[in-house]
Structure 1
Amino acid sequence: MFSTLESNYKSDNASSNDLESSAWNQFFLKYDCCAVHEVNGTTNDFDNTPWCTTSGSCQDTSSQIPRTCCKDVTLNNYTSAPSNCHASVNRGTYKQNCMDPLKKLSVNNIEEYQLSLLSFSLLFPIILQVIEITIVIVLMFPRCYGSVNEN
């Protein structure tokens, strides 16, 4: 995950034509997180991204983290994120890393999946019994189901 961010992140514009950067920014906004590892200041996961090394506001030194990483920003207002967040990277102004929300999502999905399996495993024997009882009834009482020859 980190290598993908480091190799492909080129813009902090959430609606840029660069689909990978846009996807990262949308992810940061949707899951209220920033980067893969915890941001601890101006040295962070974005330092070696194309956004910081070849192009973008990080490379221009006007940002140290994406504006989409700032607390309380949305898709509608991230472009006006406070500079003390993205330029100065002051503690308490930016979001937590994205690993914690991902872990929670995977745990929730696993738990939901396990619950589905558990429900099915509990219901399956009951379903088999109902099928078995239905077959026995049909075989024992064929007249009720129109399979007897009438003379």
Structure 2
Amino acid sequence: MVCCVETISKTVIIALNIVFMVLGLAIMVPGILMFTNIDFLSDEITPLLDKISFNGVNLGSISNNLPMLFIIIGGVILAIAAIGLIGACCKIKTLLVVYAIILIVLLIAQIIILAFFFLLRSMLDDTIKQEFLNQLQNSYKQDALDKSDEVSSSFNYMFMQMECCGIDPVTSTSNDFDNTPWGRGTAQRIPKGCCKDVTENNYASYSNAACTDTATSGQYWSEGCFDKIMNSFGATLDAMGYVCLIAVLVQILLVVFAFCLCCSYATDIV
């Protein structure tokens, strides 16, 4: 009977730790990719993100630190899984006990973090969208890449780099820019950054009335920047949240079978 329990527990721990390692990689790899693949993390847009706050924490700080957090969590999970595999395969009871204790501590921390994550995530869309809209309508003052006006410049870089326009989708000549300081002082409907063929190099001399003055369909990026942000950043957050939830469920099973395997050993093998 003891031999049967040992065999089953050992097999389950090895299998689940392999799954655990895969989950660790599933958390770590997107964190690495976020450093290079999410456009609004660029230096030109950071001044704008620093002014967008959520529960007292600015979005720039979250955006810069979140990828590293994913990498660290993924690395910790890989290390813990390696300890579990060594303990199970080599029948090192002491290592298995340490492994189970680490899992319990990590499990408690993850449950607390996940509870806050899903609570805050449910509030994220409306809160962050309104923050972006407030910054646009209160601080967007010029259609230029002049770094002396960091907010306006950041918005213009965001429009170009993320291929979007405004916060909400621009579907007509009436849009988010109407109530901005820039919009109230110009006959143009949308800034140059929204136009499809504008670049950083030709921005100062760019002229396309069909885009900026009449917002003719096909001349500009019609998708709102908030949707672009949430399609990349928000989708990554959601995926990481569910991966962490699966990791919690796997950890619960690992703790149970780790103690079962420990109890099946008659003596410590160190």
Instruction: Tell me if both proteins adopt one fold, taking TM over 0.5 as the criterion.
Output: yes
The whole-number CA distance in structure 2 between the counterparts of 1:14 and 1:37 is: 22
The whole-number CA distance in structure 2 between the counterparts of 1:77 and 1:131 is: 63
The aligned residue for residue 122 of structure 1 is 249
SS at match of 2:144: coil
Matches within 5 A, 1:89-108: 89-96=215-222, 97-105=224-232, 107-108=234-235
Runs of 4+ in 1 over 6 A off after TM superposition: none
SS at match of 1:118: helix
Report the AA paired with residue 138 of structure 2: S
- Checking the alignment, whether the CA contact within 8 Å between 1:33 and 1:69 is kept in structure 2 is yes
The whole-number CA distance in structure 2 between the counterparts of 1:114 and 1:49 is: 36
Matches within 5 A, 1:37-116: 37-53=168-184, 59-61=185-187, 63-79=188-204, 80=206, 82-96=208-222, 97-105=224-232, 107-116=234-243
Larger CA Rg, structure 1 vs 2: 1
- Say yes or no: does 1:23 pair with 2:154: yes
Q: What RMSD in Å do the two structures reach over aligned CA positions?
A: 2.7
What is the CA distance between 1:102 and its match in structure 2?
Answer: 3.5
Unpaired runs of 5+ in structure 1?
Answer: 54-58, 146-151
Unpaired runs of 5+ in structure 2?
Answer: 1-129
TM-score w.r.t. the length of structure 2 is: 0.43
The whole-number CA distance in structure 2 between the counterparts of 1:40 and 1:71 is: 15
- Checking the alignment, whether the CA contact within 8 Å between 1:28 and 1:69 is kept in structure 2 is yes
- Checking the alignment, whether the CA contact within 8 Å between 1:70 and 1:81 is kept in structure 2 is no
SS at match of 1:101: helix
The whole-number CA distance in structure 2 between the counterparts of 1:126 and 1:81 is: 63
Instruction: Report how many residues are paired.
Output: 137
Relative contact order, CA 8 A, sep 6+: which one is greater?
2
Higher helix share: 2
TM-score w.r.t. the length of structure 1 is: 0.70
> Equivalent pairs: percent with the same residue?
28
